[in-house]
Amino acid sequence: MIACSVNKVTKMFGGNIIFSNISLEIQENERVGLVGPNGSGKTTLFKLLAGQEDPDAGHIHWKKGLKIGYLMQIPDFEDGLTAKEVLMTAYDELLEMEEKMRQLEEAMSLEQDQARLNKLMESYGHYLNQFTLQGGYEIEPNLEKIAHGLNIRDLLPRDFSTLSGGEKTKVGLALTLLRNPDFLLLDEPTNHLDLFAVKWLGSFLKNYRGTVLVISHDRFFLDEVATKILDLADGELASYHTNYTGYVKEKEERLLKEFHDYEEQQKKIKKMKEAIKRLREWANRANPPNEGLHRQARNIERALERMEKLTRPQLIRKKINLEMEASERSGKDVVLLQGVAKGFGQQLLFTHVNIHLSFGQRAAIVGENGTGKSTLIKLILQELSPDEGKVSIGSNVKIGYLSQHVFSDAKEETVLDSFRTEIPVAEGEARSILARFLFYGPMVYKKVSQLSGGERMRLRLAQLMYQDTNLLILDEPTNHLDIDSLQVLEDALENYDGTLLAVSHDRYFLNKLFNKVYWIETGVLHHFEGNFDYAEEKMKALLPDNTDIFNERSNEKVSNQSGSRSLPVKNKVTRDHSLEELESELKDLEEKISSLDLELQDIGDLERLQQVYAEKEGLEKRWHEIFDLLE
């Protein structure tokens, strides 16, 4: 059944057409990826679907009664709420119902009149049945599951208004998932997530009982989640019934066929025009002119006019023009960390860290959010000093740094001024360079503070390209770039003849470019000579029973040898229970709770209802205890 249909929709902005006459259908339970260049109108289409904006022409139809959940890139809520309170707004109706039940319980305990008591009991039974059916007893487990998967439990007690943009986005994503809508609209949900949370989210969406439409530039994530791809580019929308990898192949085949059809039509048009010209020449040579030949020429001319002309397909889309070259060779040893430890306050991030980068090597740093990846980068940039150990930078090393927070302190500088501040060239040359990064004409006078995340990243890449570097340090470089720009960046980095060090959550990017991985896990830095997939397999082997590293989280603390600061480590299973026993008991409890849920729906007797409710509460308490042990 069709969940949503878009019929010949047009949207304009400031007199410019963003897209025109686009149509699409999304079936229930489909998982659809929406791709396209930055600025093609993907987020605008989402706003139309979410009802936040109206189309200038055309219609959007939804299945009646469908519940829609829309994740904006940066959600907003009233001041004074903690992140957990923001998440609990997903259950406003259930919490109101729970409060009504509490009031009824109090009234029943005080009521002496049997007739009125029976009425109260009947009302209570109705509320309890609805509360159970709508998942009232799963509020805390669901919140815990999603907060755990997205690695945001440490954010829950914090004031939402004080969170960074990335942290707000993660909480907004959790809220959208907790609301459990029939149709999920997710705009770049993997931005700001670590590898572990991206993996968890992909698994969650694959098993989601509803329809999913997601904008993403993460190719691995799209392959995992999407079974259909929509490509929005140049004001047109094309549909591909496959995952991202299949879409790339099919799109190329379509383009080649379209170009072949276009060329064949051009040949036919040329022959028809030549035939018209010849027939008229022959007709005019006759004396008197041959009307039959003129008639044939007119017939061909009318056929040519009626022919539906094919548009020349754009085989190569406009992309940034990026080339990276090392200015000159550095010494053999580029970066050397020996026995480094770093922490803040009483929390130790990592200890005994050793890193050695030689000239020309390509290394990636991976790990959960909060484990110290960016801190390691700051130590290498010498923006921070280690608590223990030594950080050395080799001779003649010239560093180019790409921060994940590009121009976060942007003032009122224009794009042109900002570029020339870093790269002292004449205005004409600067404009020529910026055009290679898709900043055309008046766009160079746009204020940096008004640029989108992708535009800021392009501006910073333009600066980096013309800086004197032989060591590139990249902190989440794939954030905000569209897939076309990502591919250009990858090609440029692949041909870069200097040294590369990057932090990234993009598996595709990591596997393509890096053959050395430093993996931070529970305060320890592991080193692997291979790409990310190889490092992942090796990390699994280090864990007991090949536990899935993407379902592990480090939250408890143990003392280090000195006893003065704490280091995060994986929770351990207690001595009295094996991992298998706990997992088996957890599974049994889940089945019993599910069985009790079904029983609660059919119970009419209040006394039995209360007994089952009490039994379920006890099982859920035990479920939480085992869940905590397994973590």
CA–CA distance, 396 with 382 (Å, rounded to integer): 16
Q: CATH number of the domain at 81-181+193-216, please?
A: 3.40.50.300
Per cent of the chain over pLDDT 70 is: 84
Using pLDDT thresholds of 50, 70 and 90, give the confidence band for residue 608.
low
Q: How far apart are the first and last CA of the chain?
A: 40
Mean pLDDT of all residues in 153-175: 88
Handedness of CA 403, 404, 408, 410 (dihedral sign): positive
pLDDT value of position 532: 94
Residue type, 175: L
Q: Where are the alpha helices (DSSP H) in 308-398?
A: 373-380
Tokens of 154: 């440490």
pLDDT value of position 544: 63
pLDDT value of position 563: 45
The structural domains of the chain, with segments of one domain joined by +, span: 81-181+193-216, 276-312, 333-407+451-537, 579-630
Contact 439, 466 (CB under 8 A): no
In this predicted structure, the answer to whether residue 270 has a pLDDT above a threshold of 90 is: yes
Examine residue 288 and say whether the peptide bond preceding it is cis (omega within 30 degrees of 0). Answer: yes
Q: Which one is predicted more confidently, 324 or 212?
A: 212
Distances (CA, A) of 283 to 98, 292, 305, 335, 560: 92, 8, 21, 83, 101
In this predicted structure, the answer to whether residue 6 has a pLDDT above a threshold of 90 is: yes
CA–CA distance, 421 with 127 (Å, rounded to integer): 65
Mean pLDDT of all residues in 447-476: 85
Mean pLDDT of all residues in 267-278: 92
Contact 579, 543 (CB under 8 A): no
Task: Pick the most confident of 235-239, 435-439, 481-485, 545-549.
Answer: 235-239
Nearest C-alpha neighbor of 41 from the set 235, 320, 244: 235
Output DSSP code: residue 404.
S
In this predicted structure, the answer to whether residue 208 has a pLDDT above a threshold of 80 is: yes
CA–CA distance, 229 with 232 (Å, rounded to integer): 10
Q: Where are the alpha helices (DSSP H) in 150-243?
A: 165-178, 195-206, 219-225
CA–CA distance, 22 with 449 (Å, rounded to integer): 32
Cα–chain-centroid distance for residue 270? 48
Using pLDDT thresholds of 50, 70 and 90, give the confidence band for residue 602.
low
In this predicted structure, the answer to whether residue 561 has a pLDDT above a threshold of 50 is: no
Residue type, 182: D
Q: Which one is predicted more confidently, 542 or 36?
A: 36
Handedness of CA 293, 297, 300, 302 (dihedral sign): negative
Using pLDDT thresholds of 50, 70 and 90, give the confidence band for residue 562.
very low
Output DSSP code: residue 37.
-
Per cent of the chain over pLDDT 90 is: 41
CA–CA distance, 611 with 569 (Å, rounded to integer): 40
Rounded to 5 degrees, φ, ψ at 537 are: -65, -40
| Mean pLDDT taken over the chain | 84
b or e along 26-57 (b: 16 or more beta carbons within 10 Å of the residue's beta carbon)? beeebbbbbbbbbebbbbbbbbbbbeeeebee
In this predicted structure, the answer to whether residue 559 has a pLDDT above a threshold of 50 is: no
pLDDT value of position 71: 79
The pLDDT tens digits for 92-138 are 999 999 899 889 888 888 888 888 888 888 888 888 888 888 888 88
CA–CA distance, 500 with 229 (Å, rounded to integer): 33
Using pLDDT thresholds of 50, 70 and 90, give the confidence band for residue 164.
confident
Contact 415, 422 (CB under 8 A): no
Nearest C-alpha neighbor of 192 from the set 244, 152, 161: 152
Cα–chain-centroid distance for residue 226? 13
The pLDDT tens digits for 416-440 are 888 888 888 888 888 888 888 888 8
CA–CA distance, 52 with 68 (Å, rounded to integer): 12
Domains 81-181+193-216 and 333-407+451-537 equal at CATH topology level: yes
Tokens of 322: 């990026």
Using pLDDT thresholds of 50, 70 and 90, give the confidence band for residue 467.
confident
The pLDDT tens digits for 376-413 are 999 999 999 999 999 999 999 999 898 877 766 666 78
Mean pLDDT of all residues in 150-175: 88
Tokens of 210: 């509803």
pLDDT value of position 570: 40
Q: Which one is predicted more confidently, 602 or 395?
A: 395
Q: CATH number of the domain at 333-407+451-537, please?
A: 3.40.50.300
In this predicted structure, the answer to whether residue 571 has a pLDDT above a threshold of 70 is: no
Tokens of 283: 């007709």
| H or E element that contains 627 | helix 606-630
Tokens of 454: 């992708």
Q: Which one is predicted more confidently, 621 or 418?
A: 418
pLDDT value of position 340: 94
